[in-house]
């Protein structure tokens, strides 16, 4: 049905279920890409960050979908992934729950200003592995102050995932369930060094 998917990584949501400037900017970038590639679909990702101290009434992905629909995007051209609580989860659950069933292997990933190309490319290669073609759509704004945090996050990401073969979704899921505070309720963000 679709030959290409434009994946929008989560960029935050507030306690009232409203997306902020970063997420709305990402949605607009995705819609621009969709306009240039009408055989594509949009995939909005994210439940809410595992670091959030609140539970909004709506998932981040649904809020971004609602915003895209308000801008005129056909509702049937938008899918949501609502299990993830971080960037690794965004890509993992998107692959498992949407890309594989829809048989889509060509993707664009819209990253937020708080993501680095290097970390997103590393995660995409690790989770998607062979058989997928991806490109990264960069935001119109950059946050130089995020560079240090992103480098630290990339280092931790590599420490966690480097022993796992690219595309080994069983091993990645096992790691998420056993070691990640977003997917293992017995681990708190404060007790974990995870910055994925």
Mean of pLDDT values over 107-134: 94
Mean of pLDDT values over 61-85: 97
Report the pLDDT value the prediction gives residue 194, as an integer from 0 to 100: 46
Residue ranges covered by each domain of the chain:
4-145
| Reported pTM | 0.93
Burial of 39 (0-12, 13-18, 19+ CB in 10 A): exposed
- The CATH class that applies to domain 4-145 reads alpha beta
| Interval 6-42: pLDDT, tens | 999 999 999 999 999 999 999 999 999 999 998 999 9
Q: Kindly indicate the confidence band of residue 114, based on its pLDDT and cuts at 50, 70 and 90.
A: confident
Q: Kindly indicate the confidence band of residue 130, based on its pLDDT and cuts at 50, 70 and 90.
A: confident
C-alpha to C-alpha distance for 112 and 180, rounded to whole angstroms? 22
- For the record, the structure tokens of 193 come out as 């060094």
Say whether pLDDT at 176 is over 50: yes
CA distances from 104 to 3, 26, 38, 82 (A): 6, 21, 14, 19
Of the listed ranges 47-51, 104-108, 145-149, the one predicted with least confidence: 145-149
């Amino acid at each position: 049905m679709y030959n290409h998917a434009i994946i929008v990584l989560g960029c935050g949501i507030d306690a009232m279920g409203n997306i902020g400037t970063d997420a709305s900017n990402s949605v607009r970038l995705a819609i621009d890409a969709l306009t240039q590639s009408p055989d594509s679909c949009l995939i909005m990702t994210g439940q809410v960050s595992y670091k959030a101290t609140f539970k909004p009434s709506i998932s981040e992905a649904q809020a971004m979908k609602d915003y895209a629909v308000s801008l005129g995007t056909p509702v049937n051209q938008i899918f949501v992934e609502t299990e993830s609580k971080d960037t690794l989860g965004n890509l993992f659950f998107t692959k498992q729950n949407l890309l594989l069933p829809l048989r889509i292997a060509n993707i664009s990933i819209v990253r937020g200003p708080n993501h680095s190309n290097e970390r997103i490319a590393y995660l995409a290669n690790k989770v998607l592995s062979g058989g997928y073609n991806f490109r990264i759509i960069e935001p119109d704004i950059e946050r130089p102050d995020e560079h240090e945090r992103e480098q630290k996050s990339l280092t931790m990401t590599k420490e966690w995932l480097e022993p796992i073969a690219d595309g080994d979704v069983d091993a990645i899921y096992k790691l998420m369930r056993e070691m990640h505070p977003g997917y293992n309720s017995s681990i708190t963000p404060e007790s974990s060094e995870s910055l994925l």
